[in-house]
Amino acid sequence: MNLQELCSRITEPSEQAAAAARQQWDSVAKPLGSLGLLEDAVIRIAALNGEKNISIHPRAVLVFCADNGVVQEGISQSGSEVTALVAGNIARGEASVCHMATLADAKVLAIDMGMNEAVPGCLDRRIAAGTGNIARGPAMRREQAEAAILCGAELVRELKAQGYRLLATGEMGIGNTTSSSAVASALLGLEPALLTGRGAGLSDSGLKRKIAVVEQALAVNRPDPEDPLDVLAKLGGFDIAAMCGVFLGGAAYQLPILLDGLISCVSALLAYRLCPQSRKAMLASHCSAEPAARLLLEALELSAPIQAGLRLGEGSGAVCLMPLLDMALSVYEEMSTFEQIGLTAYSHLEGKA
């Protein structure tokens, strides 16, 4: 399957299933819409699946690991060797996201999309040993970008066949906030200074350096904002490309995908620009503390239920949403209805005198 064929599989969400889920929420004996964005999330999953009754178990967090050549420009506190160290920690179940996922009843999968060195325990989906330095030239070839996207989509297909019903996106790769800021700047048409943050904790001078590198990457590569694959190939990372594929795959194979922070939001916007209907599979979890995050969510027309200043990465913010969805589904599926307790149902009165 090529990228065009993948996108051709993606259809519009089911309005009938969305209406049935909305009616189910309205029948529950509580104030209408009182669970806010959690109700919206359940309705969106129903529309994606095409049926009112849904399940979000079992579930997994996909942590895509890759190295970025732009680290050579001194845009991070740490070197590329840290990517492999943390990826190994994730693969062994010892990273932050692993502890959080245990409580959220989710499996964590570490996927090597292109680290500088192979790491035991990671699924091998390597495209190359890291990307090129975007400050000096393109990150990857166009065909590599498409291959990485298709890897992400194929992983969704495989996990759906294994019975998974909810996936979360995560990543690990030193330098990937720089790549993400460059991609965001190209897609949104905004200056890098508005979109580039401190990542893992840069000083003021380090942030200025990072912004200058993003500006240089845009000038050197001259990405075409009307061609998302061109933007990805010139400025992105293998982790970004794979997550883009996960969002496309989620829409194609009817599996809801949780966004995490900045990097997965950039990936989601790439998927949306490649195929607008892919938005139906996307569920925002939180709004990252990185400055581009809110602008990316606005471009996707998605609202994040969690506003906690998170910026850990690894898919940790997406995992935080899972227990909230469980709670919402408990109300949706098990709470008494107005009819069952003999109470007149509430009516939607917005806009009425």
> Which residues belong to the active site?
314
Give burial (CB, 10 Å; 0-12/13-18/19+) of 311. Answer: buried
Q: Which amino acid is at 237?
A: G
The pair of structure tokens assigned to 201 is 């904790």
Specify whether the CB–CB gap between 239 and 151 falls below 8 A.
no
For residues 294 and 112, what is the distance between their CA atoms, to the nearest angstrom? Answer: 28
Specify whether the CB–CB gap between 319 and 100 falls below 8 A.
yes
For residues 68 and 57, what is the distance between their CA atoms, to the nearest angstrom? Answer: 34
Q: How far is CA 203 from CA 52, 77, 135, 207, 269, in A?
A: 49, 9, 20, 6, 28
The pair of structure tokens assigned to 101 is 């996922």
Total length of the chain: 353
Q: How far is CA 215 from CA 173, 176, 279, in A?
A: 21, 15, 29
**Chain centre distance of CA 178:** 17
- What phi and psi, each to the nearest 5 degrees, are found at residue 61? -110, 125
Helices 228-235 and 204-221 sit at what angle, rounded to 10 degrees?
A: 130
Question: Which element (helix H / strand E) includes 265?
Answer: helix 262-274
For residues 292 and 298, what is the distance between their CA atoms, to the nearest angstrom? Answer: 10
**From the CB of residue 224, how many other CB atoms can be counted at a distance below 10 Å?**
12
The pair of structure tokens assigned to 97 is 């996201």
Q: How far is CA 285 from CA 35, 201, 250, 251, in A?
A: 15, 22, 16, 17
